Amino acid sequence: MKKFLALTLSTAMVAGMMAPAAFADETEAMDILPGDGQKIGVSMPTKDLQRWNQDGENMQTLLETAGYEVDLQYASNDPQTQLSQVENMISSGAEVLVIAAIEGSSLGEALDMAKENDIPVIAYDRLLMDNDGVSYYATFDNYMVGTVQGQYIIDTLDLENEDGPFNLEITAGDPGDNNAGFFFNGAMDLLKPYIEEGKLVVQSGQTEFEECATAQWKTETAQSRAENIIASNYADGTNIDAWLCSNDSTALGVENALAANYTGEYPIVTGQDCDKENVKNMIAGKQSMSVFKDTRTLALQVVKMIGQILNGEEVDVNDEETYNNNVITVPSYLCEPVFADVNNYEELLLDSGYYTEDDLK
């Protein structure tokens, strides 16, 4: 009979990871097959965004608590650096790789090398593209992230009942990140009918993903584009009613541009990740909502999958149809996102132990 390691609340707290009561039930419910010192390679894209630091720390803490050796590397948003780091993980004896890619198609050589060495690869939150060396994909339901943002705009503007027209602008994510298209399409599939009937008007005319994209999700890039949109279309004080932003780093750029150049009524601004600065802006009325993807949940699921892989168990997946990487359809586990706003952030973010009150001062 297999022995399971219960990653309980107490061990997580001792490890300094997180998690008072609201997270306890989920943590204790995860039966994790214990490791035996196997090396796990964890490749994260950058330390420049808060969320990747949290993801890396969560993965390392949980894996080490479960009995694995962890090789955690950050690639400074440089695809060649990430490629080299992953190849080094393989050469140094990693038995499973967990990779959050900078660019989904940039790691083909490393994936080929992993396949040749029979090393399973879990794509973490970003799908690895154009290669059959991907074993599993663990993420949040990325299309649902977009639908949550789009529905928030629909509900807050009461588009079902109000005549409008309302002005909308859009800031999408990184073209090199496969998730960005899912976020964009999830929101736009809900909003396009209102654009087509004229209830939502995009004064800039920029409604295609390529027009709205933000390379590497950079705040400065989003800010520069937003400043140009405001100067060209809203300098006379015309109101922007909603600004769809795919994540928090791009939302910060839009919020900076609004603070510097916009004179109309403050719009609805969406986001994703519940980064600290964005939650502070939410409390201050500068951002309306942010999709909350509890990265602790994702890290727990990946550690569970690693144990299943190394012990020859059936690996948990709940989607075997959606995520095709242009070569294969990758078996996936999708966690469900929710949104935080000024009405519920205390319950979601503080009561769960994700942040402390001092974090948000």
pLDDT tens digit string along 67-103?
999 999 999 999 999 999 999 999 999 999 999 999 9
> Using CA atoms, how far apart are residues 255 and 267, in angstroms rounded to an integer?
10
pLDDT range class, residue 51, cuts 50, 70, 90: confident
CB atoms within 10 A of CB 12: 24
Percentage, residues of the chain above pLDDT 70:
92
Chain-centroid distance, C-alpha 76? 17
- DSSP 3-state of 289: strand
Lowest mean pLDDT among 26-30, 81-85, 241-245, 308-312: 26-30
pLDDT at position 80 is: 97
Q: Note whether 175 and 217 are within 8 A (CB).
A: no
For the chain, the structural domain boundaries read 5-134+294-336, 142-292
DSSP designation for 169:
E
Burial readout 240-261 (b: 16 or more C-beta within 10 A, e: otherwise): bbbbbbbbbbbbbbbbbbbeeb
**Contacts with 200 (C-beta within 8 Å, 6 or more apart), sequence order:** 159, 164, 165, 166, 167, 168, 191, 194, 242
Lowest mean pLDDT among 2-11, 35-44, 153-162, 277-286: 2-11
Domains 5-134+294-336 and 142-292 share a fold: yes
Q: Note whether 100 and 55 are within 8 A (CB).
A: yes
Would you identify the CATH topology of the domain 5-134+294-336? Rossmann fold (3.40.50)
Does the pLDDT of residue 9 top 60, yes or no? no
Q: Note whether 58 and 44 are within 8 A (CB).
A: no
Token code pair at residue 262: 């916009």
**Contacts with 79 (C-beta within 8 Å, 6 or more apart), sequence order:** 102, 103, 106, 107
Q: For the chain, how big is the Rg over CA atoms in Å?
A: 21
CATH superfamily of 142-292: Response regulator (3.40.50.2300)
- Give this prediction's pTM: 0.81
148 exposed, middle or buried (CB, 10 Å; 0-12, 13-18, 19+)?
A: buried
Q: Note whether 40 and 306 are within 8 A (CB).
A: yes
